[in-house]
Amino acid sequence: MSKKKIKLDRKPGLYLKDTDHKGRGVFCTQDIRKGEILEVTPTIILNKSASEAVEDTILGNYVFQIGAISKAHRKQLGITDISKCCGVIMGIISYFNHAEKPNAEVEWEEHDGTLYHQVRALANIPKNTEICTTYGNGWFKDRKDTIKHHK
């Protein structure tokens, strides 16, 4: 087991607020500097059957596609096809809305069998400005296709 420790952290002053057209979003009571880490939190990885089970629930709107994880982690979780799996991020990261030109980005790191996600500011963000990431190309189309398929 590694001696490296991942510090779980959240920038003080982050808060949720309703937006006009995207539901709840994340804002901050103070200015944010470019490069600043806004949150570091663990992620629960769902294998294919668990990912399929949450798809038709409200949780389906808050899961994220995960990237490559170690062979050991895949074996432990019974994952053969990473593209059929998703992750539930255990922090406020799940509430960051999408923007075509995001002012923050989500990064991840696997450590000792746990996946951690963090959000880093891509630019200076004035206080009380919505903090947005990108969900990637095609996310909204995929969601609409999934909803049509299940109706």
Mean pLDDT (the chain, rounded) = 84
Contact 148, 62 (CB under 8 A): no
Q: Check residue 120 and give its pLDDT.
A: 97
Domain ranges of the chain: 9-150
**pLDDT higher than threshold 70 for residue 148:** no
Which of the four pLDDT bands, split at 50, 70 and 90, describes residue 3? Answer: low
- Percent of the chain clearing pLDDT 70 (strictly above): 87
Global pTM reads 0.78
CATH of 9-150, one of 2.170.270.10, 2.60.200.20, 3.90.1150.150, 1.25.40.850: 2.170.270.10
DSSP string, the chain: -----PPPEE-TTEEEEE-SSSSEEEEESS-B-TT-EEEEEEEEEE-HHHHHHHHTSGGGGSEEE-----HHHHHHHT-S-GGG-EEEE-SGGGGPEE-SS-SEEEEEEEETTEEEEEEEESS-B-TTPPBEE---TTHHHHHHHHHHHH-
Residue 81 — pLDDT band, cuts 50, 70, 90?
confident
* Cβ-based neighbour number of residue 88 at 10 Å: 17
pLDDT digits over 97-129, tens only?
999 999 999 998 888 878 898 999 999 999 999
Q: Is the pLDDT of residue 149 over 80?
A: no
Query: What's the pLDDT score for residue 15?
Result: 97
Q: What is the mean pLDDT of residues 78-104?
A: 89
